[in-house]
Structures are given as C-alpha cells and as structure tokens.
Structure 1
C-alpha cells in the first residue's frame, strides 16, 4: 500500500479541521477563501481515502468485499457533500445566502438523507470495520480499530475535534507504513509496530 497516501489522507482531514477552526475565529466563516480552502482539504482527504480503502480490501480476506463497497459508497456521498458546499459557496454572496442555497439543495428529495444523514456515516462505519478486519487478519495491531473508532466518533460529538480525528486515523493506519513484504506473501505489520454526523462540512 502506498505509504504517502496512508499519511496524506488523514493529514488532509486534520488540515480541514484546523482551517475550519481558524476560519471561524472572525465569525465570518463561509463563503470565502477560508471556507473553500477548508473544504478543499476535506475533499482531498476523501479522495485520497479511496485507494486506501481499496488497498485494505486484499488484507481483509473475503469478508472485506461488502464492507469495501459500503465504505466506498460512503466516500462517494461525502465527496458530493464537500463538492456541493464548495460550488454553493461560489454562488453565494454572503453567509445567509449560502445557508439559503444549502437548504434549497438539501430540500431536494433524498438529498439530505443520502448525502448528509446516512451516506457519510457509511464511510466512517466502514473504515472502522475495515480496520478491525485488517487487524483480525494480522496486518494491524489490535489498537488500530480502537483508535479508528474513537476518531470517527469525535466529529459526531463536536466538529471542532476534526483535527484530532485526522491524527487518530493516521495513528491507526501508520503500522501499515512499516509493513515489509515477505516472499510472495502480502505485507504485514512489522514485529514491533509503532504506536502511532450528519453534516460533515461547514
């Protein structure tokens, strides 16, 4: 698995969270450069997680196939959510106008449910399950799924915790960056691995 992706995807989520917090300090977050930059980081993180999810699939044996599909579906809806918020922000003249445009978008039949309420949850639940299956197959330590679970629960409690979510995801996945291939077998973790909501954007 590409080690750069394993680091870049979680850090992009941390960058999204930090940029969002900084952008909200002046009380005028969105629309504007801070909104677009934060959502660009978030969008990049979701896109970078696609090859990570696909890379985890071979490490989970056959049980990972349906989970991978569910996780990718969740990623797709989250990508649409980030992209929509960026596009709407371009069209908006101020914060109130942006909220109006967002409501017009989410009021369309099925949009709120698919892209905000249910869809993104599939990614978060899926990535935890994939981490658990990968650990069960011996490619991640037992604590990786635990960290991943904590990571995905934090934004549901408070979106300002998103920077920590990215760091915990990084810690959960970092043992895979230390994997070493042995013969023709798939890479596994090194003998001593390092410790490493409804509306997501906004």
Structure 2
C-alpha cells in the first residue's frame, strides 16, 4: 500500500469529523450558516472529498484486475467514485461561495453523491475479493455513510465509523487477509 493510500484513508475521515464538529459548533446559536465555523467546516469537508477522490484513484491502482471484466468493473468504480466526489465538491463549493448561483437539479444533487459510495464500495469489494482488506471494511464504511444519510447531525459519529471502515487501509500495507 502506498503512503498516499494510508494518508488519505486517515486524513479524509478526520476532516469529515472536523466538519461535523464545526457544523455542531455553528448551530449552537440556533442558526447554521455564514459564520466562521460554517466556513471552516465546509472548507474541511471540501478538502476531505478531494482526499477521498485521491484515495479512490489510489485504490484503483491497487485492485488486482486480471480478467477484462475485472478491469472494467475497477475502472467503472473509479469513474463513479470521482463523479460522486465531484458532486460533493460542487455542492460544498456552492455552500462556501454564495456568489456561485448555480445549483444541481435536486435529483442530481441527491443521486450523484451516491455514485461516490457505490464506486468506493466496489473498489473496496474488489480488494476484499483479492483478500487484501477484511470483509468488514466496506460494510463498516457503508454504515458510516448510511448514518449521514439518516441525519446530518450524526456526522461526527459517522466520520468515526468511516474511519474505522478505512482503518485497514490507513494502518498497514495491503497484504492477504485470512478467510
């Protein structure tokens, strides 16, 4: 595993955790938005998804794909993850810069970020199939993203869960995992 994978697998969830904390701090006055905590938190979230995109590229490079169909799935998963991460980045940027008066249509704003999760889970699933990460890793990561989908106030908890799901990537080199 590369140092890029280790760094991004650790730093991205920590930045999401920081965003969740800043979101909580920003809401202490009963109003969310347009303050230092809002801006700092959103900047952290933006950076987190830049790092998530880098992580997706790094994972794609590590997925062993012998057969053509495996390469197609691997590359399709990377495209999905990058499109989804781009959607997160676009929405976050429009929150940070109110002068950007362009928004995605609501179905795209809701649907495109799901592509990130599908892509990442597919890449992680391929690493599971190659026995390079444990089966629980993508399952735990999915649980973290589901927690965010249920309630944005769960962001700090969800970030810790996502960090746990990515911990095999952050803490050791990819090597065969026992069944």
> TM-score normalised to the size of structure 1?
0.76
Task: Verify the 8 A CA contact 2:60 2:123 in the aligned structure 1.
Answer: yes
* Distance in 1 of aligned mates of 2:107 and 2:82: 17
Tell me the CA shift for residue 190 of structure 1.
6.9
Tell me the CA shift for residue 80 of structure 1.
0.7
Distance 1:25 1:189, change over 3 A: farther
Q: Which residue of 2 aligns with 1:56?
A: 59
The answer to whether 1:111 aligns with 2:105 is yes
**Count of equivalent residues:** 168
Task: Verify the 8 A CA contact 2:133 2:176 in the aligned structure 1.
Answer: yes
Task: Verify the 8 A CA contact 1:71 1:126 in the aligned structure 2.
Answer: yes
The structure that has the greater radius of gyration is 1
Query: What are structure 1's unaligned runs of at least 5 residues?
Result: 92-100, 181-186, 192-202
Task: Verify the 8 A CA contact 1:176 1:189 in the aligned structure 2.
Answer: no
Q: Which residue of 2 aligns with 1:39?
A: 42
> TM-score normalised to the size of structure 2?
0.85
Give SS of 1:24's match. helix
Task: Verify the 8 A CA contact 1:9 1:45 in the aligned structure 2.
Answer: yes
**Counterparts of residues 162-173 of structure 1 (less than 5 Å):** 162-173=155-166
* Distance in 2 of aligned mates of 1:51 and 1:189: 23
Tell me the CA shift for residue 32 of structure 1.
1.4
In angstroms, what is the RMSD of aligned CA positions? 1.9
* Distance in 2 of aligned mates of 1:125 and 1:190: 23
| Aligned partner of 2:22 among 19, 24, 28 | 19
Task: Verify the 8 A CA contact 1:147 1:171 in the aligned structure 2.
Answer: yes
* Distance in 1 of aligned mates of 2:176 and 2:161: 18
| Aligned partner of 1:83 among 90, 93, 97 | 93
Tell me the CA shift for residue 76 of structure 1.
0.7
Tell me the CA shift for residue 55 of structure 1.
1.0
The answer to whether 1:156 aligns with 2:142 is no
